[in-house]
Structure 1
Amino acid sequence: MSGERTAGAGAGAAADGEADVVIVGGGAAGLSLAHALTAPGAARPLSVTLVETPRRSLRPPARTWCFWQEGPSGFDEALVASWRRLRVRGRDGGVVDGELGAMRYHMLRSDTFEALVTARLTARPRVRLLTATAEAVRDVPGGAEAVCVTADGRRVTVRGRHLYDSRPARTLPPARSTLLQHFRGWFVHTSEPVFDGDVVELMDFRVPQPPHGLAFGYVLPLGPAHALVEYTQFSPTPLAGPAYTAALRHYTDEVLRLGRFTVSAVEQGVIPMTDARFPRRTGARVHRIGAVGGATRPATGYTFSAVQRQCGAVASALRAGDEDGRLPPPHRRRSLAMDAVLLRALDTGRVNGPDFFTALFRDVPTERVLRFLDGRSTWWEDLLIGFSTPVVPMLRTGAELPFLPRRPHPGPPGGGPGGG
């Protein structure tokens, strides 16, 4: 976004004016909420001001988001690719293939998604897109406000009945267990066709494993000779830069045996996987949305689907006249409890990560695993999944969790593309 754009004459939000909703941050969460709030056909139209910083240092680089879903995504024009099969390879090279049935595993690029949604918002009445940096957000009588500074130093204050803040937090909340999902990926073009375009290599454990945590390769084929190839670790700390290059070179040369290839782009990220409790409300009318509000699934790092569910629920409530504006929990308590046990078991080394995930996808239908990871599984499906894991170490871990203190994480919360 550049400058300031107000769509339609009736936007109801002059400079230093008011809207029904103010959204701070123009990433996946902020854009998705603005898109849901202003979708055509509402009996009660809402005005929205979306604030996005012009400072490149505060905006993440283009990155990849992935998610799975049945039917249209609502953003199909921005999809880079979709697949109907997932594959997991064990440490011994054993292959587990899974069919997704009616679901598809989708890949988005953040810059394409942002361009699509921004274009839609620009064409909608009652939407104001403001390029400025929010320096403070706070409650005020009857609502909330963001105090912002534009690129030329002009101060702008925008107010709304509700404010949704998606800016990353400076630190993580205290947690019993925190692992980091950190990775580097290459967009590769090979000299010969080597990729199966129908299958995502979701986890390929034929890579050297770290002493603490787990590591795997991840391949998103974009054509017979084109793919995004990533090296990923779940571990307490990120690697030094050259270590990612060495790991990727080993994976592409020694494991995948790609032959000659060129790298057209690189992406890298760090995603916290934590059982921390993320506050979704920091004031009477100030809410946190997206990863900062706990939308990232603790055991996987996937975020995009939970963001869409949250945004849809908030938009439906506000457009129906509900003035609470509260964000629903992004994940069920039962799912979070199971994730907390898994994170602790991985962190302590009680379960072997590669063997755990290989067995999970081997013993449980892929569709059921994905329903669980998306929070749509039934209690009995969750029970069956639980019995498909190493029961004794998981029970031991679950028994000790209530007695463990929550401690601050020593490093920054990280950020990056992850699984969307």
Structure 2
Amino acid sequence: MLAALDRHRVRDVRIAVVDPVHRRGQDRTWAFWDQPGNDLDDLLSASWSRVEVVTPHTHRALDLTPLRYAMLRSGPIYQRAAEAERRLGAVRIVAAAGRVDDDGERVLVHAVDGRSLLRARWLLDSRPRPPRRPGRTNWLQHFRGWWLAADRPVFDPARAVLMDFRTPQPARGVSFGYVLPVDSRYALVEYTEFSPDLLTGAAYDAALAGYRDLLGLDPARLTVTEVENGVIPMTDGPFVARPSPRVVRLGTAGGATRPSTGFTFSAMYRQAEQVARAVAAGRPPVPTPAYPRRHRWMDAVALRALDAGLVDGPDFFGRLFARNPADRVLRFLDGHTTVAEDLAVMRSTRLRPMVTATVADAAARIRDRLAPSRRPSWSVPPAVVDTELPSADASGQ
């Protein structure tokens, strides 16, 4: 957010950052797709115009043109944010934000111990929050990745593996591996699940070791230099992006996470850009919804179909890429497709199970309206964090 404000030359607004941690170094990695030629180009660790999607029965090499798949490590982002903070003259308050009081004119931010931290005209809040109401389907995207250094060339730096569904599938959910090579000897190899429950640390390591072996990589020639973990909510519960007149939530709490995949970065980046443009123009710092309403509905149906076992996960995602141009699928996941393209995406799925899931979703919505108290309880587990957005609260006054 600070970098976006600096990029749009916001200089006449007083800014404070409330965060108990001043982040530095490489503590996370973002992978996302976009078009080349933007302000992230110089920060990327790697990017690919071709990726692979693998299922137990197919192996597809996809041309993403005009898009690219990109990897961004946190170190350059934190450094850019620190430089922007200095140029903006932002005040840093090293504390964890607690209660927020909004009287419609000013927002009073309290620490978790109750003391007042600051008063501001607007609060941009990126702290993780549960949805306004429990979702009808509540899954998690959870993963562990190993940064592997090899003693000889073993990776193809020109091609990333976007999704490899040859991993053993959980009883309830979807699993896949992926490979993001920085060069021929260094890559991030990751195991990911879309499912309701987390694994133990030993189970993640076992799954990663199994995927490494599936790739034909010799563990004797590899060194694990870093380990990354993450958990992101996947739910059709609605997130409130504007809980009060002068509080704006960003990231997962502001609806930036795509319910059907857990992808967040691109929408988060758009939110920051929209907020910065608005502030530079003297308008309220309120971004547009991250995804169209029809996409949120389609995500709810897809989550229900996967959760109920109506569709096979690898087949479901494999058909999306097999029956659509790769850039259409990626633009759909970013919420940038037209209605006609959305219909084409829908036609690529198996009709009968999706109709069943659609009817069940409609019935559940009717039941919720008639008896909302019957809705199951749900909250974000303590381990769930938005790994796409450093948890920080920026306030302008």
TM-score (norm 1): 0.83
Q: Which residue of 2 aligns with 1:133?
A: 96
Q: Which residue of 1 aligns with 2:377?
A: 408
Aligned-partner residue type, residue 210 of structure 1: P
Whether contact under 8 Å (1:86, 1:97) holds in the other structure is yes
For 1:417 and 1:60, the matched residues in 2 are separated by 15
Structure 2 runs not aligned, ≥5 long: 369-374, 391-397
Moved more, 335-344 or 113-122: 113-122
- The answer to whether the aligner puts 1:352 opposite 2:300 as a matched pair is no
Pairwise mapping of residues 13-412 of structure 1 onto structure 2 (< 5 A)? 32=1, 34-41=2-9, 45-54=12-21, 62-92=27-57, 94-125=58-89, 127-140=90-103, 142-148=105-111, 157-169=117-129, 173-259=133-219, 260-323=221-284, 325-404=285-364, 405=368, 406-409=375-378, 412=381
Whether contact under 8 Å (2:180, 2:187) holds in the other structure is yes
Q: Which residue of 2 aligns with 1:21?
A: none
Work out the number of aligned pairs and report it: 379
Question: How far 1:60 sits from its partner (Å)?
Answer: 12
For 1:231 and 1:251, the matched residues in 2 are separated by 7
Superposed CA offset, 1:79-138 (max 9, x none): 11111111111113x21111111211111122331122221221234x323322223221
Superposed CA offset, 1:290-317 (max 9, x none): 1111111111111111112122222323
Question: How far 1:61 sits from its partner (Å)?
Answer: 8.3
Moved more, 372-381 or 396-405: 396-405
Whether contact under 8 Å (1:344, 1:397) holds in the other structure is yes
Moved more, 63-72 or 140-149: 140-149
Q: Which residue of 2 aligns with 1:7?
A: none
Superposed CA offset, 1:132-172 (max 9, x none): 222322114622121248xxx99663222111111122688
**Pair 1:197–1:419, CA change in 2 (3 A):** farther
For 1:301 and 1:211, the matched residues in 2 are separated by 20
For 2:106 and 2:27, the matched residues in 1 are separated by 33
For 2:379 and 2:84, the matched residues in 1 are separated by 41
Q: Secondary structure of the equivalent of 1:137?
A: strand
Aligned-partner residue type, residue 184 of structure 2: P
Q: Secondary structure of the equivalent of 1:222?
A: strand
Quick one: percent identity of the two aligned structures? Answer: 43
Question: How far 1:78 sits from its partner (Å)?
Answer: 2.4
For 2:389 and 2:63, the matched residues in 1 are separated by 19
Whether contact under 8 Å (1:82, 1:106) holds in the other structure is yes
Q: Secondary structure of the equivalent of 1:67?
A: strand
Question: How far 1:270 sits from its partner (Å)?
Answer: 1.2
**Pair 1:216–1:419, CA change in 2 (3 A):** farther
Q: Secondary structure of the equivalent of 2:7?
A: coil
Question: How far 1:274 sits from its partner (Å)?
Answer: 0.8
Aligned-partner residue type, residue 170 of structure 2: P
Superposed CA offset, 1:188-223 (max 9, x none): 112231111111111111111111111111111111
Question: How far 1:411 sits from its partner (Å)?
Answer: 5.6
For 2:386 and 2:272, the matched residues in 1 are separated by 21
For 1:77 and 1:271, the matched residues in 2 are separated by 27
For 1:381 and 1:35, the matched residues in 2 are separated by 33
For 1:104 and 1:88, the matched residues in 2 are separated by 15
Whether contact under 8 Å (1:207, 1:216) holds in the other structure is yes
Question: How far 1:337 sits from its partner (Å)?
Answer: 1.1
Superposed CA offset, 1:219-243 (max 9, x none): 1111111110011111110111111
Q: Secondary structure of the equivalent of 1:375?
A: coil
For 1:289 and 1:394, the matched residues in 2 are separated by 31
For 1:221 and 1:267, the matched residues in 2 are separated by 15
**Pair 1:63–1:54, CA change in 2 (3 A):** closer
TM-score (norm 2): 0.88
For 2:262 and 2:48, the matched residues in 1 are separated by 20
For 1:402 and 1:322, the matched residues in 2 are separated by 38
**Pair 1:171–1:282, CA change in 2 (3 A):** closer
For 2:379 and 2:106, the matched residues in 1 are separated by 35
